[in-house]
A and B are shown apart, each in its own frame.
Chain A
Amino acid sequence: GENVEQHPSTLSVQEGDSAVIKCTYSDSASNYFPWYKQELGKRPQLIIDIRSNVGEKKDQRIAVTLNKTAKHFSLHITETQPEDSAVYFCAASTSGGTSYGKLTFGQGTILTVHP
């Protein structure tokens, strides 16, 4: 089955710096890659996602890039703010077949933004 590796496990930055989190996946059939942000005691919230027919997607300070050949995708946060501090999870899934509704998650990255 699919396996998703996420790095780093912890990331500490100063306010205003950029943060980059990287994930690799094993199943070449994976075609959907969401990123979730989970604050302490809260639900995971979708912050951005990308499908395999797109190489890059941006939403304000957040961007995601996908390299299908290398089977990796990355989350980029620019101009970080203290409220960006949270655990970030990458995930991968394959539409249809026997994979309906299944997201395979990375282990998470604890991002701390220092004021």
Chain B
Amino acid sequence: KAGVTQTPRYLIKTRGQQVTLSCSPISGHRSVSWYQQTPGQGLQFLFEYFSETQRNKGNFPGRFSGRQFSNSRSEMNVSTLELGDSALYLCASSRGFEDTQYFGPGTRLTVL
């Protein structure tokens, strides 16, 4: 089985812009979770989608949003980028009825 894939792998944006990141889960997985990884804050949960519905959300501002499509692919969007949004954004997929999550390679976002 192919693993979790994320595109793009690297992004450079400037403050105030918006960005969309994409995640394709393992085939058959219906749940996609998103995490932000930074040296200072570590790995922090953003949100989780299952069957096109957001089931859970972390403590991030409304500038961070996401969605899931009928094929389980997910996107996350960050609007009005701030310097502090520079991070590695990881998605993880699972079947949805158990907790084992498998991570993608991440998208490295740099905000200048």
Contact = CB atoms under 8 A, between A and B. Distances in A.
A99 B42 contact: no
Interface stretch (B13-21, B79-87, B98-106): B98-106
B45 interface: yes
A71 B42 CA distance: 21
B22 interface: no
Contacts of A89: 42-43
Contact of B50 (A95, A101, A108): A101
Overall SS of chain A's interface = loop
A43 B42 contact: no
B33 A102 contact: yes
A105 interface: yes
Interface string B31-66: 111010000001111001110000110100000000
Contacts of B44: 105
B56 A98 contact: yes
A93 B30 CA distance: 18
B-side binding surface: helix, strand, loop or mixed? strand
Interface residues of B, number: 28
A48 B68 CA distance: 28
Interface in A23-48: 32, 34, 36, 42-46
B73 to A, nearest CB: 16
Interface string B4-27: 100000000000000000000000
Given A43-B90, A98-B56, A100-B56, A105 B101 contact: no
Contact of A103 (B45, B49, B50, B55): B45
Closest 10 pairs (CB-CB, A-B): A101-B48, A105-B43, A100-B55, A101-B33, A32-B99, A43-B103, A102-B45, A100-B56, A44-B103, A43-B105
Interface of A: 32, 34, 36, 42-46, 49, 89, 91, 93, 95, 98-108
8 contacts: A42-B105, A45-B103, A100-B96, A101-B32, A101-B96, A101-B101, A103-B35, A105-B43
